[in-house]
Amino acid sequence: MNEDKLTHLDNEGRIRMVDVSEKSETERIAVARGQVTMSPSTCRMILEGNVTKGNVLTTAQVAGIMAAKRTGELIPLCHPIPLTDVEVRFSVQADAGTINIEATAKCVGRTGVEMEALTAVSVAGLTIYDMAKAVERTMQIGGIRLVRKSGGKSGTFVREGEEDDV
């Protein structure tokens, strides 16, 4: 952690929303990733569109985008942010039973969009689980992480080991 103190606490240790009014507006971009693991047969069913609830990946993509837009309502001290773009993408390795999720959130503002990207990945994963749970309840959602962020005073962050992937 770069900071010596938690920014959501005031001098008396009370919880607070961070005041960003003095920060400069800059373009801010965040990329997050995660995955859903399952049996190869369930993964193939999703990929081939054979899940009775409908198109799993399209529904999860829309759910992730919608969730990013509502992050300020879901995370108690998160600022509502006027997003300029949200993308949710999937890469499927059916033989391995893995659906990788990547979300990118963008805005021009005074605070970052890391939480929006992370929320998009999380809800996309939850939606995949929800739509395919009748087929397999042992699916796992995991590995949710920030892999890149840029903009603002703290500059650019790229997660070690994922430099070439973003």
**CATH for 26-149?**
3.30.70.640
Residue (of 90, 85, 80) closest to 105 by Cα position: 85
> pLDDT by residue (tens digit) across 45-65?
999 999 999 999 999 999 999
Catalytic site includes residue 95: no
Rounded to an integer, what distance in angstroms lies between the CA atom of residue 142 and that of residue 121? Answer: 10
Active-site residue (options: 4, 10, 19, 130): 130
pLDDT tens string 66-123: 999 999 999 999 999 999 999 999 999 999 999 999 999 999 999 999 999 999 999 9
End-to-end CA distance of the chain, in Å?
Answer: 22
User: How many angstroms separate the most distant Cα atoms in the chain?
Assistant: 56
Give this prediction's pTM. 0.92
